[in-house]
């Protein structure tokens, strides 16, 4: 009978545990779809309304996010990313010790127009939610929100309010 040394068995056990731990990690690209519907309004108008609503939201949980607005004119779509400022390089959240004056930076809240792009881009960093809207016809858009449950719910309520405001 051939017995393995204890150190070899221990090494194999540690490697297996590491393999299982890595397999369970989530990435930024696998956030669940939270809400989806067809709403009244074109994607650009709705997204601009949404950006105004997000930038004026006074909830501390929403102030943690840096919003990125993208327009895809070739495919009649828009996207809004809510990037978590705690994980963005060179950006400090308003409650961070590196930003003691608690000044919120709104630079970059204008749209990034991506011409010649034929498919929606993925998130580059960790995000709370991403709202994607595609124009379905002249008067409506298909909206979908993926992300964390709480902030996705807030974003969905904002986009529904914007759709009601556009519809009036």
Put simply, whether the predicted model's pTM sits higher than 0.75 gets the answer no
C-alpha distances in angstroms, 118 versus 29, 46, 57? Answer: 19, 21, 32
Query: Closest Cα to residue 154, out of 35, 48, 38, 66?
Result: 35
d(CA 68, CA 16): 40
Starting at the edge strand found earlier in the chain, the sheet holding 111-113 runs 33-40, 140-147, 127-135, 77-84, 65-72, 111-113
What SS3 class is residue 154?
helix
Question: Are the C-beta atoms of residues 132 and 143 closer than 8 Å to each other?
Answer: yes
**Do the domain assignments include residue 20?**
no
70 within some domain: yes
> Domain for residue 142, yes or no?
yes
Residue 48: domain span: 32-167
Is 116 within the bounds of a domain? Answer: yes
Residue with tokens 């709370």: 128
> What are residue 150's phi and psi, to 5 degrees?
-65, -55
Task: Kindly state the DSSP code that residue 93 receives in the 8-state scheme.
Answer: -
Domain count, the chain: 1
In a domain, 37, yes or no: yes
Q: Domain for residue 41, yes or no?
A: yes
Residue 6 inside a domain? The answer is no
pLDDT per position in the chain (168 positions), as tens?
556 676 777 777 777 666 666 554 444 456 777 888 888 888 888 888 888 888 888 888 787 787 888 888 888 888 988 887 776 666 555 555 555 555 555 455 577 677 776 667 676 667 888 888 888 887 888 999 988 888 889 999 999 998 888 777
In 3D space, the residue among 69, 82, 66, 80 whose CA is nearest the CA of residue 127 turns out to be 82
Q: Is residue 134 part of a domain?
A: yes
């Amino acid at each position: 009978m051939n017995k393995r040394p204890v150190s070899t068995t221990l090494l194999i056990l540690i490697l297996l545990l590491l393999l299982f731990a890595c397999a369970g990690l989530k990435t930024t690209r696998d956030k669940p779809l939270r809400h989806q519907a067809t709403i009244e309004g074109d994607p650009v108008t709705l997204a601009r309304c949404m950006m105004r609503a997000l930038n004026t939201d006074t909830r501390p949980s929403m102030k943690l996010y840096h919003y990125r607005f993208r327009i895809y004119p070739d495919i009649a779509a828009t996207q809004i990313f809510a990037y978590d400022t705690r994980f963005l390089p060179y950006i400090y959240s308003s409650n961070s010790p590196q930003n003691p004056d608690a000044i919120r930076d709104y630079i970059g809240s204008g749209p990034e127009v991506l011409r010649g792009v034929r498919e929606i881009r993925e998130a580059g960093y960790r995000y709370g939610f991403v709202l994607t809207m595609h124009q379905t016809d002249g008067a409506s858009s298909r909206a979908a929100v993926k992300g964390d449950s709480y902030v996705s719910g807030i974003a969905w309520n904002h986009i529904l309010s914007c759709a009601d405001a556009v519809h009036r």
